[in-house]
Amino acid sequence: MTLRRYKHSVAGALCATFFLVGCSEDQRVTFNDEIKVGVIHSQTGTMAVSEDSALSGLILAIEDINRGGGITIEGKTSKLVPIIEDARSDADEHGWVTESLLGDSEIKVVFGGWTSAGRKAMTPLFSSGNALLFYSIQYEGGENAPHVFYLGPTPEQQSLPAIDWFLAQGHRDFFLVGSSYIYPITANKLFRKHIEAAGGRITGEEYVFLGQTIKPDLIEKIRASMPRGGVILNTVNGDSNESLFREMNRYYVNRKNGYFSLSFSIDESSIDQWGAKYFEDAHLSQGFFEDSSNDKIKSFMRKYKNRYGAEKKLNDAAVTSYVAVHMWAQAVERASTTDPQAVEKALIGSSYEGPLGTVQVNENRHLTREIFIGQVNSGGTIEVLKSFGQITPEGATHQ
């Protein structure tokens, strides 16, 4: 297989690329060594807007750790040096850049990936146990690839409680719309089964390609299948969401006419990038919203906005990615080594208290975590309507 590396940023280059506020401070800290960490996120293509937040969370965590003296192993301090690759919003590219990173024997951990297609191109390359993969994005569940940590929420954590919330309010008609790849298709099979078992009805199911501009014919299918209104369950990923909500507003598929939407891949950060006016009244289910009275979350928000600017919105992907780096770093110090299998052992059962609240790594390398449902207001901020509490995903059964 041909290896292709598009971005290979280290120390000084990272400062130039990301304008790291902490770079000058980090350089005043004396380190005994360096630890390379792989980072894979799309910085170009249809997923770039979404993945920017996850990359920002990773970089902030690395800066925090370096500013605090790095990682200490047997009394020696090491600076984290991220090696960043652009997956270019392409599933195959995820495999190529992963193989490129793992060709460096000094890289024992990789953080990143977004779409399930991209993740599945990456996970087989970790089967040898020579490195760990941390995947921090919501996905369809049911996977347990060796040496991979799934920190994003599964449907039983993120989606089914939110669907039950709508069912409890008397909604019975649901239309499924998603991107044409693994996560939406698999999740929608689960949604259909769950809704029909509860006495609800799926009135239609449609898929669009990643990056595709939504056309009026899709909106007409929604209106025709639910003439009196209903709930649109949205698993569209990436910038297609902008045209989806623009067209829904254009054709009055909105709350005034009895239509509600519940999305699982939209958050405050993406709404800020696309503009709030089309998303008013939309419902979102995520593990993090900025609407919080928690002092630790407020402190983290100040740190994030001081680093990236007051206008940059936080989201679940950014916060989970931040937590992933810190959990790995703490496990390295507990294990006194970066050896992947020793670190993996130290991670199982461990917990971390931070901007996601208290989270815990389970035996299946998934995370017990809190999930919320929120509603977008006219200014683009999210009002939290309900917390579903701490939810542990069931054990994964297949690779």
| Contact criterion met (CB below 8 Å) for 116 and 331 | no
Q: Rounded CA gap, 375 and 169, in Å?
A: 15
| Residue 11 banded pLDDT, cuts 50, 70, 90 | very low
Rg, C-alpha atoms of the chain? 21
Query: Predicted confidence band at 27 (pLDDT cuts at 50, 70, 90)?
Result: low
Asked if the model's pLDDT at residue 52 lies above 50, the reply is yes
CA 66: distance to chain centroid? 24
Q: What is the pLDDT of residue 298?
A: 87
Average pLDDT, rounded, for the chain: 91
Q: What's the pLDDT band for 50 if we cut at 50, 70, 90?
A: confident
Distance in angstroms (rounded) separating the CA atoms of residues 182 and 198 = 25
Neighbours of 277 (CB within 10 A): 13
User: Is 163 within 8 Å of 191 (Cβ atoms)?
Assistant: yes
Q: What is the pLDDT of residue 273?
A: 84
pLDDT score recorded for residue 12: 35
Angle at 306 between CA 113 and CA 67, to 5 degrees: 75
Residue 5: what pLDDT?
Answer: 40
How much is the pLDDT for 29? 81
Domains (range + CATH), the chain: 11-153+295-369 (3.40.50.2300), 156-287+372-391 (3.40.50.2300)
Cβ atoms of 232 and 163 within 8 Å: the answer is no
* The pLDDT of residue 177 is above 90: yes
Interacting residues of 188 by C-beta distance below 8 A, sequence separation 6+: 176, 178, 205, 233, 235
The owner of tokens 């919501």 is 138
- Read off the amino acid at residue 31: F
Q: Residue 119 is which amino acid? A: R
Residue 26 pLDDT > 80: no
Lowest-pLDDT range, 92-101, 174-183, 334-343, 390-399? 390-399
Lowest mean pLDDT among 17-26, 100-109, 243-252: 17-26
Q: What is the pLDDT of residues 275-306, one digit of tens each?
A: 888 999 999 999 999 887 677 888 899 999 99
Q: Note whether 322 and 134 are within 8 A (CB).
A: no
Alpha carbons 37 and 25: distance in angstroms, whole number: 20
Query: Which pLDDT score is estimated for 293?
Result: 67
DSSP secondary structure string, 158-192? Answer: HTHHHHHHHHHTT--EEEEEEESSHHHHHHHHHHH
Mean predicted confidence (pLDDT) in 85-89: 97
- Checking if the pLDDT of 18 tops 60, the result is no
Q: How many CA atoms lie within 13 A of 66 on its CB side?
A: 25
Higher pLDDT, 365 or 399: 365
pLDDT class for 10, splitting at 50, 70, 90? very low
Where does residue 100 rank: exposed (0-12), middle (13-18), buried (19+ CB within 10 A)?
Answer: buried
Q: Which of 3-7, 195-199, 349-353, 387-391 has the lowest mean pLDDT?
A: 3-7
Please report which confidence band the pLDDT of residue 234 belongs to, taking 50, 70 and 90 as the band edges: very high
Q: Which helix (H) or strand (E) holds 48?
A: helix 48-67
CB–CB of 122/31 below 8 Å? no
**What integer pLDDT is reported at residue 17 of this predicted model?**
38
Pick the range with the lowest mean pLDDT from 76-80, 98-102, 312-316.
Answer: 312-316
The pLDDT of residue 73:
97
Over 50: is that where the pLDDT of 21 sits?
no
Q: What is the pLDDT of residue 228?
A: 96
Q: What is the pLDDT of residue 349?
A: 96
pLDDT given at position 275: 86
319-332: per-residue pLDDT in tens? 999 999 999 999 99
Mean pLDDT across the stretch 245-273?
94
Q: What's the confidence (pLDDT) of residue 238?
A: 87
Mean pLDDT along residues 182-199:
96
